[in-house]
Amino acid sequence: MADASQGAGAPVEGWRGQVALVTGGGTGIGLGVARALDDAGLRIALTYRNPAQAEAVAAQFAAEGRAPPLMLTLDVTDRARWAEVVAQTVAHFGALHVLVNNAGVSVFGDTDLASHDDYDWIMGVNFGGVANGLVAALPAIKAARGRRAVVNVASMAAFLPGPQAGIYTASKFAVRGLTESLRYNLAPHGIGCSLCCPALTRTNAWDSALKRPDSFAQSGFAAVSEAELRQFGTAFEAGMDPYEVGQKIVRGMDRGDALILTHPEFADDFRGIYEASVAALPDEPVPPARAEIERLRRAAMAQAEAGVQVGLADLT
């Protein structure tokens, strides 16, 4: 078994025997999460795109003394295949308790030059893939017993936009908004829901542009320079070990955290976001009727997070 001391924290208990499905598990953060879930005693199903990844994962799990995961091919934009993957997972293990939506693409370019293909590909994988996973897996998770959770892996780009990552940023903001809302819907079912926003991690996420599908070939971005892209990829060598990220994700899932932040270096950024947001609020009286609507909204959110089913009638 691999050394679990890196990024060590309180041990994760109470998940042994549960079943987790992790997308994009062939490399990077997905593989790190899978190893951390295995540490906690969960049985693992992993999705992958490249057969060589499946072979490498199987070899690594065996070398680390882990039980072999169920390896399933999946393009997260393929809704029919999603249904098959969930069905195969349930048929193999008897249930599904945890979904980790991790698969994504990182593509960069000036947003004002983007084409429809750029939007459709990036949003289709990064947001559409999460939505497809939820539609396919939530019925099985709701039907399961014991501890259950959904973890949607976004990025620090869900909070911090960048000039070369407009569509990527939009996709991660979308995953953030979806997850924060979904948490209120899943709480009454006893299902945890967490948003994870990792930052620089030692992965090959930088090479997504080299794997662009032919069906989305009409890009508005400048032609990709492989040499420039590989130079950019050297920055990822300074990133956090994906296994450490995975351990932090699993501990956050175990605690039921709404937000899992894995990297500590963003305090100044978050402080700036907070201060700019508060400063942008008009300094003027709030009409009592509007104030009452917002009081009801806050109360409804607190009730929903506590596991109470909330409807439109609770908002007026």
d(CA 265, CA 280): 25
Q: Does 168 participate in catalysis according to the annotation?
A: yes
> Among 105, 247, 260, which residue's Cα sits nearest to residue 193?
260
d(CA 7, CA 291): 44
User: Of 1-15, 96-110, 201-215, 220-234, which range is least confident?
Assistant: 1-15
> What is the arithmetic mean of pLDDT over 227-256?
90
> What is the arithmetic mean of pLDDT over 199-221?
86
Q: What percent of the chain has pLDDT over 90?
A: 80
Q: What percent of the chain has pLDDT over 70?
A: 97
Q: What is the pLDDT of residues 50-60, one digit of tens each?
A: 999 999 999 99
Average pLDDT, the chain: 93
CA 187 and chain centroid, separation: 18
d(CA 268, CA 264): 10
**Residue 307 · residue 187 · CB < 8 Å:** yes
Q: What is the pLDDT of residue 71?
A: 97
d(CA 316, CA 310): 12
Q: What is the pLDDT of residue 10?
A: 63
Q: What angle do CA 266, 271, 275 make, to 5 degrees?
A: 155
Q: What is the pLDDT of residue 256?
A: 96
d(CA 316, CA 312): 8
Angle between helices 242-255 and 28-39 (to 10 degrees): 50
Which residue has 């006893």 as its token pair? Answer: 190
CA 106 and chain centroid, separation: 13
d(CA 62, CA 69): 10
Taking 50 as the threshold, does the pLDDT of residue 43 lie above it? yes
pTM: 0.93
295: left (phi > 0), else alpha (psi -120 to 50), else beta? alpha
Sign of torsion over alpha carbons 294, 305, 150, 84: negative
Q: What is the pLDDT of residue 6?
A: 44
Report domain 19-281's class.
alpha beta
Q: What is the pLDDT of residue 107?
A: 87
Q: What is the pLDDT of residues 191-201, one digit of tens each?
A: 999 999 999 99
DSSP-assigned beta bridge partners for residue 46: 22, 71
d(CA 43, CA 34): 9
> Among 194, 58, 224, 62, which residue's Cα sits nearest to residue 130?
194
48, 168, 184, 243: the catalytic one is 168
* pLDDT bracket for residue 9 (50, 70, 90): low
Taking 60 as the threshold, does the pLDDT of residue 4 lie above it? no
Q: What is the pLDDT of residues 151-193, one digit of tens each?
A: 999 999 999 998 889 999 999 999 999 999 999 999 999 999 9
